């Protein structure tokens, strides 16, 4: 499919973590960007569908570097609790009832929300991964998926086998839209010998790792008590950080020395600002990690902990909280936040050829309107996108050159059916949990 997006303000990330704004056209063929402004060439037989983007910003798709998509069925289900009480008393009992049907429609709801908010790629750790992959593919999104592994749970060994089967089953995706990783939940739910087996299997399969890491003070305290090491040092010594890609969600409580490890090992850190705040987990040293060269992207975590799967909010909160905490208005400027939400996130989850507007890159592109009251006037487009924009401003979304959203409407799938089925299944899930409670 040939597409030419014309007349927009092109937001171009660079390898030096900066962005520039160019005015011009962007040309796409067979899922790849072939021309950006005056750079690159279109083939002689190029016959595009022309998209008028005048008055809009044209930028790489956003990346959600950590979420639990099917958890959308638990949005608003358990709020105002600290992490371990939230998990043990509310989330885990509800998750015990999740079926393949729950996961298909819960993920569909999340994919709908993410696509309409300009997210083109997400990294997920949850259950019934085949259903997650299928609905993601059906709706035209890109994903890095992993089965959540709880080393202490019954069936933990079988889950390793299931993960290997998933990797084999989805490895032949010709368009490389779905990738599988191994998903050990956290160092406090997976014993060292289990994590070593996870690392060995990941190396054997040639896949990466996705896990929660250093999320709370209690986790750090407990790990030091058990092993005499912090969570980061613990998984590093077990060999996990040397695998590629390694996605570490949260990294709230990390030291300067651990930040050096994360940078040296090219770990992709998913910064989940809103989830960390809402669960009272703390404030991650985002400015220090970015300043030290850590590959940082933004993640929403699950809708049960954030209420929303919108990267615009994560980007804005990530910057503003750090400015306030450091009493420094100059740190983490708008361009840096947009970089982390696009190119940085793509690198963090292992898609090195995405998140950018250059010839040869994957054509994951979004068109963002600049004509709403909260986007007027346009003194600085980068500042508007980082501090003022939201999902309602996303007009068009292209994933690998194919339209996924046009004029704010999903191109593949029925939005009403997705919302209705998800609501019905969420009510069913809540009923089953209440029956358990007597």
CATH code assigned at 6: 2.30.40.10
User: Same structural domain for residues 56 and 72?
Assistant: no
Residues 74 and 57 in one domain: no
173 and 220 co-located in one domain: yes
Same domain, 163 and 290: yes
| Residue 166 sits in the same domain as residue 42 | no
Q: What is the widest separation between alpha-carbon atoms in the chain?
A: 70
Using CA atoms, how far apart are residues 312 and 314, in angstroms rounded to an integer?
6
The backbone torsions φ and ψ at residue 28, rounded to the nearest 5 degrees and listed phi first, read: -125, 135
Q: Is 24 within the bounds of a domain?
A: yes
Q: Which residues pair with 402 in a beta bridge?
A: 399
Q: What is the pLDDT of residue 259?
A: 98
Q: Are residues 191 and 210 located together in one domain of the fold?
A: yes
Q: Is 429 a member of any domain? A: no
Domains contained in the chain, number: 2
For residue 52, what are the β-bridge partners?
6
Helix (H) or strand (E) holding 405: strand 402-406
Q: Which residues of the chain carry a pLDDT beneath 70?
A: 438
Q: Are residues 267 and 163 in the same domain?
A: yes
How confident is the prediction for the chain on average, in pLDDT? 95
416 belongs to a structural domain? no
- Domain-embedded: residue 87: yes
Kindly state the helix (H) or strand (E) to which residue 144 belongs, with its residue range: strand 142-149
Rg, the chain, Cα only: 21
What CATH number does the domain containing 137 carry? Answer: 3.20.20.140
Specify whether the CB–CB gap between 282 and 244 falls below 8 A.
no
| 41 in the same domain as 91 | no
Note whether 385 and 270 are same-domain residues. no
Question: Within this chain, do residues 284 and 177 fall inside the same structural domain, yes or no?
Answer: yes
| Within a domain: 336 | yes
* Residue 327 parent element (H or E): none
Q: Write down the pLDDT at residue 16.
A: 75
Whether residue 369 is found in the same domain as residue 328: no
Chain-centroid distance of CA 138 in Å reads: 19
Task: Evaluate whether residue 320 is within a structural domain.
Answer: yes
Best CA proximity match to 109, nearest among 76, 74, 82, 84? 74
**Any domain includes 45:** yes
Calpha distance 98→273 (Å, rounded): 27
Contact 3, 398 (CB under 8 A): yes
Three-state DSSP at 425 gives: helix
Residue 420 lies in a domain: no
How many CB atoms lie under 10 A from the CB of residue 313? 19
Q: Are residues 72 and 51 in the same domain?
A: no
Structural domain of 48: 2-61+360-410
């Amino acid at each position: 499919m040939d597409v030419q997006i014309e007349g927009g303000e092109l937001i171009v990330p660079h390898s030096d973590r900066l962005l520039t704004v160019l005015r011009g056209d962007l040309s796409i063929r067979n899922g790849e960007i072939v021309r950006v402004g005056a750079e690159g060439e279109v083939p002689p037989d190029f016959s595009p569908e022309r998209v008028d983007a005048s008055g809009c910003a044209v930028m790489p798709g956003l990346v959600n570097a950590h979420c639990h998509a099917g958890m959308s069925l638990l949005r608003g289900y358990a709020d105002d609790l600290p992490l371990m009480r939230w998990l043990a008393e509310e989330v885990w009992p509800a998750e015990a009832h999740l079926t393949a049907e729950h996961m298909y429609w819960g993920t569909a709801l999340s994919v709908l929300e993410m696509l309409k908010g300009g997210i083109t790629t997400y990294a997920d750790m949850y259950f019934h991964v085949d259903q997650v992959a299928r609905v993601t593919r059906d709706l035209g999104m890109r994903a890095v998926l992993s089965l959540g592994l709880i080393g202490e749970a019954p069936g933990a060994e079988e889950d390793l086998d299931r993960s290997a089967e998933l990797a084999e089953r989805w490895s032949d995706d010709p368009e490389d839209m779905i990738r599988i990783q191994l998903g050990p939940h956290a160092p406090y739910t997976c014993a060292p010998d289990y994590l070593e087996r996870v690392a060995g299997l990941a190396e054997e399969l040639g896949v990466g790792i996705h896990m929660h890491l250093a999320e709370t003070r209690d986790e750090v305290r407990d790990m030091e008590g058990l092993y005499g090491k912090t969570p980061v040092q613990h998984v590093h010594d077990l060999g996990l950080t040397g695998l590629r890609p390694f996605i570490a969600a949260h990294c709230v409580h990390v030291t300067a020395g651990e930040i050096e490890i994360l940078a040296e090992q090219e770990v992709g850190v998913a910064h989940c600002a809103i989830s960390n705040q809402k669960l009272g987990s703390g404030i991650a040293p985002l400015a220090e990690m970015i300043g030290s060269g850590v590959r940082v992207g933004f993640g929403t975590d699950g809708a049960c902990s954030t209420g929303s799967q919108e990267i615009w909010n994560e980007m804005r909160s990530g910057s503003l909280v750090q400015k306030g905490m450091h009493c420094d208005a100059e740190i983490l400027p708008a361009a840096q936040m947009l970089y982390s939400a696009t190119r940085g996130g793509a690198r963090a989850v292992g898609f090195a050829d995405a998140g950018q507007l250059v010839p040869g890159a994957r054509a994951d592109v979004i068109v963002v309107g600049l004509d709403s009251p909260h986007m007027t006037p346009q003194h600085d487009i980068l500042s508007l996108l980082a501090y003022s924009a939201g999902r309602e401003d996303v007009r068009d979304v292209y994933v690998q050159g194919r339209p996924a959203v046009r004029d704010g409407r999903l191109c593949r799938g029925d939005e009403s059916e997705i919302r209705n089925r998800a609501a019905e299944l969420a009510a069913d899930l809540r009923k089953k949990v209440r029956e358990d409670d007597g």
